Amino acid sequence: MLHHVKLIHATKSRKLLGKKIVLAIPGSIAAVECVKLARELIRHGAEVHAVMSESARKIIHPYAMEFATGNPVVTEITGFIEHVELAGEHENRADLILVCPATANTISKIACGIDDTPVTTVVTTAFAHTPIMIAPAMHSSMYKHPIVKENMEKLRKLGVEFIGPRFEEGKAKVAGVDEIVYHVIKKLHEKDLKGRRILVTAGATREYIDPIRFITNRSSGKMGVAMAEEAELRGAEVTLIKTRGSVPSFVENQIEVETVEEMLSAMENELMGKKYDVVILAAAVSDFRPKTTAKEKIKSGKAITLELVPTPKIIRRVKEIQPGVLLVGFKAEYGVSEEELITRAREQMEKAGSDAVIANTAEAFGSEENEVFWVTKEAAEKLPRMGKRELAEKLWNRIGNMLG
Ligand SMILES: Cc1cc2nc3c(=O)[nH]c(=O)nc-3n(C[C@H](O)[C@H](O)[C@H](O)COP(=O)(O)O)c2cc1C
């Protein structure tokens, strides 16, 4: 591996370590994103090989992809039979063919089994035995073309997965780099949570004072989103109940709520509707709400007194509805000693029946990093300060062990 590629290799995660990805690039203007995309896949541990169509080479130079991947770029099929090297049925073949950004032309050719460009030849070679993902990019009118649509449908039925597009400015734009990376990881990740149903709450609730003002807290939703996404990447069926204003998430099944009561009712609906294996309550739920919410905006200029009443305890409802579920709570305290933090975590276990508590100080709110205690009935383990995504991995290893 070239030195400059080594410098970024697996710096974000090891989720794609040992995975060989062919980035097959057709001639869409969005090919300009491929340098970033390749580098990001490498940051998660992948080895990337670029293949370019002739039209793609008119948009970006192969040098850019050589630089980005640190590997030779396939721009034509020669006597080295590059398509077989990369995608033939042998043990050294790629783990995934990612066609990005896919033109209407390339999509339709693949659907018809035509291979007259390096991109389509690699896809045809891989089709029977290697996963293929396609991230389309084209004008809306091309995307709406009945035959292009039919071809996409045909490919879907044959097991090809599509990522995006995003519809903006009259275009079917290629999905964002982070979204593509998420779906690639989801495809290639070990599925140790397959068959598990997991419910996660995330974010800060809002309790309305009047139609535009509310009481909230500093939680960003990052930790809950990281927990939900990690579970989904590991193959679980995840439902994420997330508050409005939280960080966005790529989890497929999301429910947006605002107030504690909305969150409670969404959670009750889920728990009454289907059996879950794990419930993770990472949302920072308001303990109080205004006794009344003014129907109109309260006029400024005069002092007002707000009477606050306690909100329902969401955590207590979980085991009332599903006594057998594995319940993981979060506990955030401010300015207390480590011993006191653990004591309060254990109190939550007694009162709400949680099986484990992730306890941290309120400094974690909104931050990229977190330092927590993993508290169970038997032990309290301190996990050192680390990024929330890495922490989610470590926490899921522990929750996975509890599930057996
Ligand atoms: C600057 C430029 C941008 C283009 N962008 C797209 C695009 O986003 N989507 C698309 O389907 N075709 C796009 N085209 C047209 C394709 O390049 C053309 O259909 C070509 O035949 C595709 O060949 P390929 O699929 O083998 O790469 C673009 C062409 C040019 C010159």
> Which pLDDT band holds residue 366 (cuts at 50, 70, 90)?
low
Comparing CA positions, the residue from 187, 196, 28 lying closest to residue 98 is 187
259 has a pLDDT exceeding 70: yes
Amino acid letter, residue 170: G
25 ligand 1 Cβ < 6 A: no
Residue 238 · residue 253 · CB < 8 Å: yes
Residue 152 · residue 162 · CB < 8 Å: yes
Map out the domains of the chain as residue ranges. 3-188, 197-403
User: In the chain, pLDDT over 90 holds for what percent of residues?
Assistant: 93
Could you tell me which residues are beta bridge partners of residue 357? 329, 375
Average pLDDT over residues 240-253: 97
Superfamily of chain region 197-403: CoaB-like (3.40.50.10300)
The model's pTM is 0.95
Chain centroid, CA 239 distance in Å: 12
Q: How far is the CA of 161 from the centre of ligand 1 (A)?
A: 21
95 has a pLDDT exceeding 90: yes
Closest atom of ligand 1 to 26 CA is 27
243 has a pLDDT exceeding 80: yes
In sequence order, which residues have a C-beta less than 8 Å from that of residue 172 and are 6 or more positions away?
136, 137, 138, 139, 140, 142, 143, 164, 165, 166
Q: Which fold has domain 3-188?
A: Rossmann fold (3.40.50)
Q: Whose CA is nearest to atom 10 of ligand 1?
A: 103
Residue 246 · residue 166 · CB < 8 Å: no
Task: Decide whether 3-188 matches 197-403 in CATH topology.
Answer: yes
Model confidence over 311-350: pLDDT tens digits? 999 999 999 999 999 999 999 888 888 899 999 999 999 9
Q: How far is the CA of 52 from the centre of ligand 1 (A)?
A: 12
Average pLDDT over residues 39-68: 98
Could you tell me which residues are beta bridge partners of residue 21? 48, 96
pLDDT of residue 367: 75
Closest atom of ligand 1 to 27 CA is 27
The rounded distance, in Å, linking the Cα atoms of 285 and 257 is: 12
Note the residue count of the chain. 404
Long-range pairs, 375-378, Cβ under 8 A, ≥24: 375/342, 375/345, 375/346, 375/349, 376/402, 377/349
Average pLDDT over residues 83-109: 96
The rounded distance, in Å, linking the Cα atoms of 71 and 216 is: 50
59 ligand 1 Cβ < 6 A: yes
In sequence order, which residues have a C-beta less than 8 Å from that of residue 306 and are 6 or more positions away?
209, 290
- What 3-state DSSP class applies to 163? coil
The phi and psi torsions of 98 (rounded to 5 degrees) equal: -110, 110
